[in-house]
Amino acid sequence: MIENQNFRPAVAIGPLGEPLTLDSLPPADTRRWVVRRKAEVVAAVNGGLLTVDEACEHYNLTLEEFAAWQRAVDRSGMPGLRITRLQYYREL
For the stretch 25-66, pLDDT in tens is 999 999 999 999 999 999 999 999 999 999 999 999 999 999
**Per the domain annotation, does 79 fall within a domain?**
yes
pLDDT reported for residue 56: 96
Q: What mean pLDDT, rounded, does the chain reach?
A: 87
Measure the CA dihedral 75/56/38/11, to 10°. Answer: -100
In Å, how far are 23, 42, 60 from 74, measured between CA atoms? 25, 10, 22
In a domain, 6, yes or no: no
61, 30 Cβ separation under 8 angstroms: no
The tally of domains found in the chain comes to: 1
pTM over 0.85: no
The pLDDT score that the predictor gives to residue 80 is 87
What are the two backbone dihedrals, phi and then psi, of residue 32, each rounded to the nearest 5 degrees?
A: -105, 105
Helices 52-59, 63-76: crossing angle, 10 deg rounding: 120
The domain that contains 53 carries what CATH number?
1.10.10.10
User: Does residue 55 belong to any structural domain of this protein?
Assistant: yes
Q: Domain residues for 52?
A: 14-19+33-91
